[in-house]
Structure 1
């Protein structure tokens, strides 16, 4: 070693120099020749100790760095020390490592010696690179996961925030100095003390925390952060770090709240609608559901089911189904499983633990694998007990009579429609028996409706007992029952009607008193009497009406006695237009005196010349309109036509009175005298132009009002006739009170007087009675010479009939009268 190396020639320096863990090299600051190197330098640069002598220092560096090394040595020689940052160092064999170069002056000689220490930075740089990479990864991970962190060095009290923490607090990165005060400031005031306490406990006691924090961002928006805190110890005795991680769960909380709300709404909706969801795993036989309503419907307690608390199975479900409904449920399920695309849709009953029966409606679809094999059934179930019971009640109200419990008219008609529909052209006969209680209204008015209802229930009970289940019995009206017989039983309808009549042969107990209750039964058969239910019911009603009119217990429908032809009802609808369009014509039938044959007047008769049907007989339309307000229209038309015709005849010198028929409604209207007075004034006519005919039966509807009206008409000067005398039921006492002038004997007596001795006696007695009362007599129905002679022999005053003349159009009457006058003069005084 050269003299210049004496500076480290002492033992302790030499030992320190040689054993130093870092490479050390001593060089001449002027020539940069290496004067010595320690063992670490030899090992680092791969030089043997003897190879260092006179080695140029610059051989250890890249040529590009030579000037920098030369300058650093010169500075150290002049100022005492110098350093260069990391730069490549070259070994003997070209190996390279990065080291920081530290230069120190060793003495004050000229030129001074300089010692160079090489600090290896390779591992540190690699560690720094790895650290930088990890920080980048951590930053990206925090940004992706939204996890923000703050770390507090408990030794140095240095606090750092990650960039994501700034974002979680709504702050721009590095916008505020990281501090616990800034962290707590963002937390909602209600949670701030609790959060600060949690941090303190974590730092002091190591108690971790995991909590949700409501924070307010600078823009005013509200967010929720999940915050987790831990204490990290460097060694068991010294806690070095506190770390707090946060993540923004605002959207997660919003979705969770929405999900909870949706679940609550669904649960409430299912509870309101009594609908539950369910799913069944066909491989395990387990029911999978989270629907509380499904559990409620089936009364399932998962904690107590079979004492095990295990899952609910299909077998357990089937044990809750009503035994009568199990086959139907199983069949519907098998059909759905074996039929791709089919939906399970079935209503059945379940029996709950308290033996209460509930109705449920289940619908489901089958989930299949790729091969079409059923895997699961997913569906809904609804408690339809209230709905089913409401439907049953509606069914009962719609089809059951509330008083008797029997089927009502709607149910009977449906049964009858089925009978006609099922019979396919009525190969199977059907019979309808209409039963009407006589004077039932009197029972209601006398004893009250409650007692009337008791009677109806007793009648229904007796009829059901006697007729049995093979007869469809219904209550169809206030006091009406209908029995429908089908098949072979229809052939015995007459016998069944007698059985029904027998029911009423014994008395009924009403309000503690026994009463005799009569009933009438009308029978109609299909296909004999009708081809459809409506016609069959109508004809049974006609039959029972005929039975009531004839005071008979039972009666079979007789077409010959049915005056209620639907075509005639159609005529009723056309009648009003018929008058307005002039289809009603005035016909007149002459009346003559029996003694001389002279024509003394005519009776006005209405004839309907229908544009399609031709001449419609009065018997077909007059009875229909007599019960309606149209009778006033017809009477007014006949009175006007009669006065108009009488006026025309008088203009031609024919002064002939015309008698017009009045109905009960005309007589009791109260307006007839005033109407007649106006009509006569219009034509400048007098009451002797008209005669007014009133049927005897019309007088008994309201005798007092009728007598008052007749007195008024008689006082006006009208000649009054009682028509059809002998066919009514009025007392003869009324005859003494009526201001009538003429009695007309009904043609029913006159046409039979020659072959029926009793009819002849009535004719004779009526003529004598009228004469004794000072009244004239007109005999209707004088159809033959023999009847004429018999009437003449009885002292009859006047006659009309086909022997005299048929009803003639009013325009033809003058011509007939001329011919009649010629015949009358040729025949003398005899007719």
Structure 2
């Protein structure tokens, strides 16, 4: 659920932020601790080394003091003078016990060993440490670490015995062993090792370590004298320092890193405890806060769900007057606004605002909800002369008229399933009927309702209507198809002025493949799929080809050659003809220029549609093309249909005059099938009339066609116009036209349309002549 997810996200965000901050703090503490431990370790080891040296010096001074006390003893000096060895041994033995010296020795000034507390001495036995004697003779006394014959290490101090001159030397030695190393370790806080470095490598003589750790001590990897390094002993890091003592004897001092790090580890442990407690407390607080936030939102979400299902009546929960409470109040206002707007939207979506009748959307939905087995029909009504009334009296009167019509057709004795207004003055009926006769009877009742005049603002309006009806399932299985078929039937009814027509009487709908050609034409223009074919025109007087008509052809990459009748009407309806015609004119005039370069003096005709004739740019465009290709205007003939002249006669006449002023020849195409009157024809600046093929076909066998063509030829000649007959397909038709004074003829009997390359040779040879 959304509230639970929000609650979880709030807790996770708050706790996550705290964890992130605490992690950064902990990382900072650890990083600082590591640096401090390293620095502190170096300082503690250096301090411990100084303490160790001070202890050695202190021990040495204590030994020297004890030796000085002994040398001042009168009996001891007298025994030395008399060479009384038993007395000497007794004195040094007692004195060594008092000061805890393990070895006491007396040496003569000649270097001989006079007495020893460990054993009797022999005559001529040398003092074991002659180097200490040499040092003592130079400086008055000496000290150092020495190994005895038993391999034990001792700290030895040598001082003179004066009486008053120096008569002998007394030596005191304290044993340096593991106990001594542990005592030093306790005082310094360091691990202490005594190591002798000789030719055979380092030898450990004393250590404060126990046996296992002593075995892990890597003596071969000790740092240089006076330097500090980190070494591992038994898997634990030790900061290690080597301190030179006396000759080959050195002390190795080690500080356990864990010892320095222990306070920081304790600090981190406490910090982790604090962080864990803080996270737990923060999580509980965040959970409580999130619950207080999410619970009202959960209630609002439930209310929103009810609103989404269309329930606007249930009250919202009472909430405290905080931010969420204000949100709930705003939510209530929003709910009321949504309810009001939805009511208006539903009305706009399903009700026609002018007539209060259902609209097209409601009509389609109602049809779709009917069970499949219910017999039904769709009728479409159009008000006759509504456009005339609207234009004459204004849109306000037209709207009132539509409302009045809506009220009338909604009060029929046998009301339909639904009456709807589609658009403009088009109304639709959904009928539950079984037969065509029932539908006819309903249409008659509707038209009867419209026969009574309607009075608006004192103006009596006589209206009528036309109705198209489509039946289910014969004419379609869905409402859209039935409406479309009914519209076609309505158009048929208006053309016939019959008031009523059924869909099956209106003929077939345009083929889908024809409709798809509309979208293909622009691509065809870009890909160069349009071409021109030229059909020759035969002059009866000279018997030679004097002109050709440029005919548009379309070679579709998938459908092959598309007939002109399949796409030119659609081009005219969609306005695309305004892009096609300039291409045709350019291609035809370019070909005309090419023929003139080849020595062929011939004229070219091209067709203009209604939209072309009403285009204000047409004269300028034709003039520009003639100038660009350097072709005389008299070589170009433009053919215009009579219907094109009737749409906007004044504008069409102005453009024709502009073309005629250029010197372009003009022709009335398909003459006889339009509505041009003779009075209008005499004012046109045209050069020829082109008889429609319907009058030429079988003209020798049709007296009426013959009479029409004869009279047209006479009239044209009287007006100074030449006559062109098209559609000549037999020798008899060609002979009749020649005999009756026709000027020019074209048709399949003379020559079929052909590409310019094929036609050039035929025109040059003048292969077609009068039979």
Q: TM-score, with normalisation over the residues of structure 1?
A: 0.51
* Residue 410 of structure 1 pairs with residue 388 of structure 2: no
Distance 1:561 1:812, change over 3 A: farther
Cα distance in 1 between the residues matched to 2:617 and 2:399: 42
Distance 1:803 1:452, change over 3 A: same
Unaligned runs of 5+ in 1: 1-261, 277-342, 349-358, 365-380, 825-829
Distance 1:644 1:512, change over 3 A: same
Query: What residue number does 1:488 align with?
Result: 434
* Residue 360 of structure 1 pairs with residue 313 of structure 2: yes
1:759 positional shift: 4.2
Which of 570, 573, 577 is residue 516 of structure 2 equivalent to?
Answer: 570
* Residue 455 of structure 1 pairs with residue 408 of structure 2: no
Q: Does the CA contact (< 8 Å) of 1:360 and 1:382 recur in 2? A: no
Match of 1:488, SS?
coil
1:600 positional shift: 1.8
1:575 positional shift: 0.7
* Residue 533 of structure 1 pairs with residue 484 of structure 2: no
Which of 644, 653, 656 is residue 698 of structure 1 equivalent to?
Answer: 644
Query: What residue number does 1:657 align with?
Result: 603
1:413 positional shift: 2.0
Q: Does the CA contact (< 8 Å) of 1:274 and 1:384 recur in 2? A: no
Query: What residue number does 1:805 align with?
Result: 751
Cα distance in 2 between the residues matched to 1:753 and 1:563: 34
1:609 positional shift: 0.8
Cα distance in 1 between the residues matched to 2:557 and 2:724: 35
Match of 2:412, SS?
helix
Cα distance in 2 between the residues matched to 1:675 and 1:383: 61
Over the aligned positions, Cα root-mean-square deviation in angstroms equals 3.9
* Residue 401 of structure 1 pairs with residue 352 of structure 2: yes
1:495 positional shift: 3.6
Q: Does the CA contact (< 8 Å) of 2:729 and 2:748 recur in 1? A: yes
Which of 545, 555, 563 is residue 491 of structure 2 equivalent to?
Answer: 545
Deviation track 1:187-234 (CA, whole Å, cap 9, x = no partner) reads: xxxxxxxxxxxxxxxxxxxxxxxxxxxxxxxxxxxxxxxxxxxxxxxx
Match of 2:661, SS?
helix
Distance 1:459 1:406, change over 3 A: same
Cα distance in 2 between the residues matched to 1:435 and 1:756: 44
* Residue 727 of structure 1 pairs with residue 673 of structure 2: yes
Residues 552-591 of structure 1 mapped to structure 2, 5 A cutoff: 552-557=498-503, 561-562=507-508, 564-591=510-537
Cα distance in 1 between the residues matched to 2:463 and 2:438: 25
Distance 1:463 1:787, change over 3 A: farther
Cα distance in 1 between the residues matched to 2:453 and 2:737: 52
Cα distance in 2 between the residues matched to 1:752 and 1:489: 46
Higher relative contact order (CA 8 A, sep 6+): 2
Match of 1:806, SS?
coil
Cα distance in 2 between the residues matched to 1:526 and 1:603: 49
Distance 1:766 1:579, change over 3 A: same
Q: Does the CA contact (< 8 Å) of 2:470 and 2:502 recur in 1? A: yes
1:483 positional shift: 1.5
Cα distance in 1 between the residues matched to 2:334 and 2:413: 40
Cα distance in 1 between the residues matched to 2:309 and 2:599: 92
Match of 2:528, SS?
coil
Distance 1:677 1:470, change over 3 A: closer
Q: Does the CA contact (< 8 Å) of 1:509 and 1:515 recur in 2? A: yes
Cα distance in 2 between the residues matched to 1:703 and 1:464: 43
1:347 positional shift: 8.6
1:804 positional shift: 2.0
Cα distance in 1 between the residues matched to 2:496 and 2:699: 25
Match of 2:601, SS?
coil
1:447 positional shift: 2.0
1:407 positional shift: 0.7
Q: Does the CA contact (< 8 Å) of 2:416 and 2:429 recur in 1? A: no
Distance 1:654 1:470, change over 3 A: same
Match of 1:777, SS?
strand
Match of 2:551, SS?
strand
Cα distance in 1 between the residues matched to 2:623 and 2:309: 79
Query: What residue number does 2:36 align with?
Result: none
Cα distance in 1 between the residues matched to 2:729 and 2:472: 42
Match of 2:673, SS?
coil
Q: Does the CA contact (< 8 Å) of 1:362 and 1:382 recur in 2? A: no
Deviation track 1:459-480 (CA, whole Å, cap 9, x = no partner) reads: 2222223373334221011111
Residues 736-755 of structure 1 mapped to structure 2, 5 A cutoff: 736-751=682-697, 753=699
User: How many residue pairs end up in the alignment?
Assistant: 466
Distance 1:550 1:604, change over 3 A: farther
Unaligned runs of 5+ in 2: 1-291, 318-331
Which of 720, 725, 737 is residue 791 of structure 1 equivalent to?
Answer: 737
Cα distance in 1 between the residues matched to 2:414 and 2:464: 21
Distance 1:643 1:698, change over 3 A: same
1:406 positional shift: 1.2
Match of 1:545, SS?
helix
Which of 609, 613, 622 is residue 555 of structure 2 equivalent to?
Answer: 609
Which of 452, 458, 470 is residue 524 of structure 1 equivalent to?
Answer: 470
Which of 427, 451, 464 is residue 505 of structure 1 equivalent to?
Answer: 451
Q: Does the CA contact (< 8 Å) of 1:782 and 1:803 recur in 2? A: yes
Match of 1:360, SS?
coil
Query: What residue number does 1:472 align with?
Result: 418
Q: Does the CA contact (< 8 Å) of 1:606 and 1:618 recur in 2? A: yes
* Mean CA deviation greater in 530-539 or 624-633: 530-539
Q: Does the CA contact (< 8 Å) of 1:409 and 1:475 recur in 2? A: yes
1:647 positional shift: 2.5
Cα distance in 2 between the residues matched to 1:790 and 1:503: 58
Match of 2:682, SS?
helix
Cα distance in 2 between the residues matched to 1:735 and 1:347: 69
Which of 724, 747, 750 is residue 778 of structure 1 equivalent to?
Answer: 724
Distance 1:612 1:694, change over 3 A: same
Distance 1:346 1:715, change over 3 A: closer
Q: TM-score, with normalisation over the residues of structure 2?
A: 0.54
Cα distance in 1 between the residues matched to 2:608 and 2:707: 28
Cα distance in 2 between the residues matched to 1:400 and 1:755: 63
1:776 positional shift: 0.6
1:560 positional shift: 7.5
Q: Does the CA contact (< 8 Å) of 2:698 and 2:733 recur in 1? A: no
Query: What residue number does 1:256 align with?
Result: none
Cα distance in 1 between the residues matched to 2:435 and 2:411: 17
1:673 positional shift: 2.1
Cα distance in 2 between the residues matched to 1:389 and 1:823: 82
* Residue 630 of structure 1 pairs with residue 576 of structure 2: yes
1:753 positional shift: 4.9
1:611 positional shift: 0.7
Distance 1:467 1:779, change over 3 A: farther
Distance 1:591 1:428, change over 3 A: farther
Q: Does the CA contact (< 8 Å) of 1:274 and 1:383 recur in 2? A: no
Give the number of the structure whose residues are more often helix, by fraction. Answer: 2
Cα distance in 1 between the residues matched to 2:309 and 2:526: 64
Deviation track 1:439-487 (CA, whole Å, cap 9, x = no partner) reads: 3222223223332222112222222233733342210111111122345
Q: Does the CA contact (< 8 Å) of 2:750 and 2:768 recur in 1? A: no
Cα distance in 1 between the residues matched to 2:543 and 2:585: 27
Deviation track 1:682-714 (CA, whole Å, cap 9, x = no partner) reads: 222211331111111111222222222212211
* Residue 708 of structure 1 pairs with residue 654 of structure 2: yes
